[in-house]
A and B are shown apart, each in its own frame.
Chain A
Amino acid sequence: MSKLPAAIVGIGQTKHMSTRGDVSIAGLIREAALRALDDANMTWSDIDAVVIGKAPDFFEGVMMPELFLADALGAVGKPLLRVHTAGSVGGSTALVAASLVHSGIHERVLTVAFEKQSESEAMWALSMPMPFAPPTHAGAGGYFAPHIRSYMRRSGAPDHIGVLVALKDRLNACKNQYAHLHETDATFEKIADSVMLWDPIRYSETCPSSDGAAAMVITNEANANRGKLAPAWIHGSAMRSEPTMFAGRDVVSPRGSRECAADVFGQAGIVDRRAEIDVVEMYVPFSWYEPMWLESLGFAEEGKGWMMVEDGSTQMDGDLPVNPSGGVLSTNPIGASGMLRFAEAAMQVRGQAGEHQIDGARKALGHAYGGGAQFFAMWVVGADKPA
């Protein structure tokens, strides 16, 4: 049996903020879900199944919140799955939803990802002090900073590359009405002068903590034209996981990342990645991950990703725009961030990205990663139906 085509016909997201005190958890997810349904010209009753994803439940202080949210998700009487793959969860959730359509089991699936981090204490939830380990960690940054330092040393990249990425993403976000941070006055100097948190990561090169949700309606071919806009077709999807720590692990460009990319681009028939992909929405929570992932995803040769940042290739008017939405650096509800990347990629090929639309985008990569850079989820979407 061969894989049935699947398309994204509705996309919605919330206005992301550090605290969405105006909505309950249910209100937050419904804001995104209703926008996706509206975009798809559908109602709750059109949906066959719901797939929801989010990161650790300690962020909201509710264990398995999808259970009490079943009504809010319009899931009563339907199949509901809850995915949790750490930071990549928003992406893997979309992939699980797509599987339900690729397999022919369901025709119209609603997928939602969210985090309402303001309900609990996000830093604590991310790095709960564990017995048996002394408290030298300092949240996610404390884990990644040493590996960023390794990349800088190996590649010889100049110190300011991270600042350039942060500046680009923060200014791009100003063109995204939903983004959390709208730093219209961001400048190179302001970012470079911001306090060092985990050297070499500065405060302004770090993702914010956000409340937010994203949702998509994924359907089979028969329903692909029901939405307000043309569908985004799924050309390839892949997931890879590897152990967090093992002897000789390459944390800078994990093999799982490279193999996941090879798989997804292979499925999509992409031969020349830089030439054939029009826009990339990649998961960059700390600025330096942009050049690192550019190399790992095969858009740049090893050691040269930083040059694409420096020469403007990844700007919106460059030949490979990265994160025109502002990315994770501007909006980070952890459970939703991966799905936001996947959704923004789909929005690009549907011509739906408004002020941050890349003209003529027809093929896009959505990318998410999680854990200690060990869980990867990616999809390639296109304006045309896959061959």
Chain B
Amino acid sequence: MRDVAIVSFAQSKHVRAQTDSNEVEMLMPVVREALDNVGIGMDRVGFTCSGSTDYLSGQAFSFVMTLDSVGPWPPISESHVEMDGAWALYEAWVKLQIGEIDVALIYAYSKSSPGNVREVLTRQLDPYFVAPLWPDTIAMAGLQTRALLDSGTATPADLAAVAATARRNALANPYALLTGDASVEDLLAQPMLADPMHVWDCPPITDGCAAVVIAADDVARELSKNPAWIRGIDHRIESQALGLRDLTTSVSTATAGSKAGVSAGGFDFAELHAPFTAQELIARNSLGLDASVPINPSGGALSANPVMAAGLIRLGEAASRISRGEGNRAIATATSGPCLQQNLVCVLEGSA
């Protein structure tokens, strides 16, 4: 296996609704920044891969338009996944492992603002038996949260602590959308949104994007003084049907984590992609991370959730923190599908 590292990361200042700019205008400066950080142009990029989804933008082939952000001329080797950008990064990592190229660019974006994201995401379900009931993401997350509370593994105060910590961490993140300094008591006193979900259990609706550059071996060392090396990366999917899974654990996170080498431990922090509070506890438990490991110092998806980019951002945030020397070893995850159906786990490490 080649040594591949994340050498650059850029993201937009995430907002509730980006009404001035279309997706290309939103993405272009972020892609430019990711390339400029390491002083390269598209001529040094051997492969480009992006993650996005048509249903959020309400346009078929929406990713075709955003390819302009990259200026793909002369023609480039490029692909796209209808998934979170974290999986686009995985595809690019695989390409680098083949050995023919050394640098890849990954980007991901979405605007949740054009449609009603809660309704749009109901279309991501079994069209015969589930989607016609229009169970939105909050309702689905509510089922998982209820299951977790009923199992005795977590209390409402535990969930509130996740939310409070996330938004407080976000105060130090200039890109985050939702920040705050509430106490657990403050949060528990708020009314329910959809029992057992409070507003604070849920992610903010977000428009945003991110871009990452990865590189292999000596090229990574050339481009970055302290690259964040990908020591392990794996992803797994479970059945979508909620009744077929134990919603209080994330088997796919555990399996992917095991394959990525999480059992070696020694993590300084973890960026876990968990749009709902219960999911952060479930992911943390599934990875065997005890209370000593800080979770989501960036504020996580609870503070900014550009769907399709939020997972890539966890990898980028973790890598940046390592490159800045604020920690040497971290886990970053990405999730997709209702109630943590599909998960990617990545172990990142600096050179310290």
Contact = CB atoms under 8 A, between A and B. Distances in A.
A57 B54 contact: yes
Interface in B70-103: 71-83, 87, 90-91, 94-95, 97-100
Nearest to B61: A86
B67 A241 contact: yes
A96 B91 contact: yes
Interface residues of B, number: 63
A70 B343 CA distance: 13
Contact of A125 (B60, B95, B251): B60
Contacts of B61: 56, 86, 371
B94 A103 contact: yes
B238 interface: yes
Interface in A235-252: 238-244, 246
Given A1-B2, A102-B98, A63 B80 contact: no
B86 to A, nearest CB: 11
B55 A76 contact: no
Nearest to B82: A84
A259 interface: yes
A85 B80 contact: yes
Contacts of B77: 238-241
Contacts, number: 176
B127 interface: yes
A80 B338 CA distance: 15
B149 interface: no
Contacts of A259: 74-75
B94 A105 contact: yes
A255 interface: yes
B82 A64 contact: yes
A76 B238 contact: yes
Interface in B47-78: 48, 53-55, 59-61, 63-65, 67-68, 71-78
Nearest to A374: B64
Contact of B237 (A62, A80, A96): A80
Dominant secondary structure at the B interface? mixed
Contacts of A62: 123-125, 127, 131
A99 B95 contact: yes
B236 interface: yes
Contacts of A127: 60
Contacts of B83: 64, 81-82
B64 A371 contact: yes
A284 interface: no
Most B-side CB within 10 Å, residue of A58, A67, A125: A67
A63 B124 contact: yes
Contacts of B167: none
B33 to A, nearest CB: 21
A45 interface: no
B248 interface: no
Interface in B193-228: none
A130 interface: yes
Contacts of A107: none
B153 interface: no
A77 B255 contact: yes
A2 B123 contact: no
B103 to A, nearest CB: 16
A67 B127 contact: no
B70 to A, nearest CB: 9
B239 A76 contact: yes
B117 to A, nearest CB: 11
A58 B240 contact: no
A81 B53 contact: no
B76 A70 contact: no
16 contacts: A56-B61, A76-B238, A77-B237, A84-B63, A85-B80, A99-B91, A105-B97, A119-B127, A128-B59, A128-B60, A239-B78, A241-B78, A243-B68, A243-B73, A244-B64, A259-B74
Interface of A: 1-3, 24-25, 56-58, 60-65, 67-68, 70-71, 75-86, 92, 95-96, 99-100, 102-105, 119, 125-128, 130, 238-244, 246, 254-256, 259-260, 371-372, 374-375
Given A67-B240, A103-B98, 11 more contacts: A3-B98, A25-B127, A62-B131, A63-B123, A79-B237, A82-B83, A100-B94, A130-B59, A240-B75, A241-B72, A255-B74
